[in-house]
């Protein structure tokens, strides 16, 4: 299943990319939401190969997975790959400079089942895809608004 959306951000591409690459901030945000996040690499700078082991309690069941930064092309692209349980996923973030203080953020997520039960689950999720797309777009819009606010305060 593939989801995609785009948002225009009133901030320079370098600032937007810098915020998206602030992985320590993302780790803290996940911890505040109840996830257990552990780095699985020894890298000190943002670069391909960074990895995280993530555990969350979702609907009363502990779920775990691994996320890896596969591509980092500053300041245009980030690509994350992930696997956990019966699914594989990718998250691609592309940035396009629309002007000196305006950036378009394109976010593409794709989940692929690795088992028959996961395929059935994904098919049932597709039945409610309109609601899922609405929530997905709302989350990306919130991220864009947060980046804009941080740029205004900087």
pLDDT in tens, 2-37: 999 999 999 999 999 999 999 999 999 999 999 999
| Dihedral angle sign, alpha carbons of residues 150, 45, 6, 140 | negative
3-state class (DSSP) for residue 117: helix
- Report CA-CA distances (Å) from 41 to 18, 24, 68, 69, 106: 20, 14, 10, 11, 27
d(CA 86, CA 63) in angstroms, rounded, equals: 11
Residue 47 tokens, joined: 């670069």
Task: Say what the alpha-carbon torsion angle 153, 34, 130, 19 is, to the nearest 10 degrees.
Answer: 30
- Model confidence at 58, in pLDDT bands (50, 70, 90)? confident
Q: What average pLDDT score do residues 79-87 get? A: 96
Does residue 59 register a pLDDT over 80? no
Phi, psi at 25, each rounded to 5°: -65, -40
Crossing angle (nearest 10°) for helices 116-127 and 129-153: 80
pTM of the model: 0.94
Q: Please tell us whether the domain made up of 2-153 is placed in CATH 3.40.50.720.
A: no
Q: What average pLDDT score do residues 62-86 get? A: 97
């Amino acid at each position: 299943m593939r989801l995609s959306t785009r948002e225009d951000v009133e901030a320079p591409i370098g600032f937007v990319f810098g915020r998206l690459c602030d992985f320590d901030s993302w780790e803290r945000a996940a911890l505040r939401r109840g996830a257990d996040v552990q780095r699985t690499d020894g890298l000190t700078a943002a670069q391909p190969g960074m990895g995280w082991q993530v555990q969350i309690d979702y609907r009363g069941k502990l779920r775990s997975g691994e996320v890896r930064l596969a591509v980092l092309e500053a300041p245009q692209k980030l690509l994350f790959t992930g696997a956990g349980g019966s699914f594989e996923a990718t998250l691609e973030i592309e940035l396009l400079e629309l002007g000196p203080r305006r950036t378009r953020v394109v976010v593409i997520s794709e989940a692929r089942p690795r088992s028959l039960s996961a395929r059935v689950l994904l098919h049932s999720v597709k039945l409610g895809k309109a609601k899922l797309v609405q929530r997905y777009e709302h989350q990306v819009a919130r991220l864009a608004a947060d980046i804009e606010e941080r740029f205004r305060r900087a």
